Amino acid sequence: MAEFSFELNDDQKAVREWIHGFAADVMRPAAAEWDEREETPWPIIQEAAKIGLYSLDFYAQQYFDPTGLGIPMTMEELFWGDAGLALSIVGTGLAAVGVLANGTEEQIGTWIPQMYGDANDVKVAAFCSSEPDAGSDVSAMRTRAVYDEAKDEWVINGTKTWATNGGIASVHVVVAAVDPGLGSKGHASFIIPPDTPGLSQGQKFKKHGIRASHTAEVVLDNVRVPGSCLLGGKEKLDERLARARERATAGGERLKNAAMATFEASRPAVGAMAVGTARAAYEVALDYAKTRQQFGRPIIDNQGVAFQLADMRTRIDASRLLVWRASWMAVNGKPFDSAEGSMSKLFASETAKTVTAQAVQILGGNGFTREYPVERMHRDAAIYTIFEGTSEIQRLVIARTLAGVPIR
């Protein structure tokens, strides 16, 4: 087990500088253009693939970093570059985590490489959980998977929404109810292979922020997949459902569902994304405050501005420490007895919204225009308190954990 440290080692520092260089030289110059276009930035993804930044090998190396800091460090630097472009680059990772959290070794080895493709033919993947009537309340999920025993196939019907890369993905990971009577305990995750008949893209959403990232509905109309596409396998699913039925009859404890397992593994990473966006806005505001002259002096000489910057920096550093702690705990098998993962996501997300708003205020009228990036950063920051569990859901998870109440 790695000791928890606030200091990156030499290898991690080198990787951080490498990612930072890509973010500064490739992402930032292109950020405003792709935000306006609201299209998937395939050329940027391909540039990341060419240098090995968008690849299974790179993310596996960071994911299995024994310090736990590889992923949050990566996310912070990419999202410092630009949130929309970064989400296009890392969005595949949520589907990959879904397979890692629930799949067999064979499924991991078969499907995750297909999610990324290669530098000459990049691919993306999508994780599909939310539905029009089932966002935070995953127990209300209506997408249904029925097993056809004669053909050893699963038949899936339903509509997913808010899916990053939905419809354009090579591989989709879909969460569906296999036993609706068990609520969230009756869910399972399925791989939908490339070009599977019956899967189509529904509405593509025009968004307030992270516009370069593709977000759409995914429609599943009698989609048939082989039994081998059930993550974890049918024997494991049958055992889990049997235990859930026994506990439901006995009024016992609730079990984690497939979607929750994925979100629990990814929440500190989302916190790191928020830290990156907040840090970017803070740096713009700090530079502006040092150079902007009013009444014969830089505006940072005014206590009202200086104190805002002090609060911004303090919240950013506190957020990073919460994210690092949760990431270290996760990789070293430490239980989140106080919902430390949700704490990190909650505080960092709220920090991103607060800090980007303060940055706009410090820049004044300039901050409200698209001539300066803080306007875009402020729009992008709004998503962090919404996706992968709203701030309200994080508070609910934390409160129930502290109270010893089971989480649905």
**What residues are annotated to the active site?**
388
Coil, helix or strand for 201?
strand
Q: Find, among 226, 136, 240, 130, the residue nearest to 188 by Cα.
A: 240
How buried is 225 (Cβ within 10 angstroms: 0-12 exposed, 13-18 middle, 19+ buried)? buried
Phi then psi for residue 112, to 5 deg, are -65, -40
Token pair in block for residue 8: 């990156």
Contact 85, 34 (CB under 8 A): yes
Main-chain dihedrals φ then ψ at residue 210, nearest 5 degrees: 35, 50
Query: Which residues sit opposite 187 in a β-bridge?
Result: 177
> How many CA atoms are closer than 13 Å to the CA of 239, on its beta-carbon side?
5
Whether 215 and 204 have beta carbons less than 8 Å apart is answered as yes
**Nearest by Cα to 256 from 226, 232, 227:** 232
Do 275 and 76 meet the contact criterion of CB atoms below 8 Å apart? yes
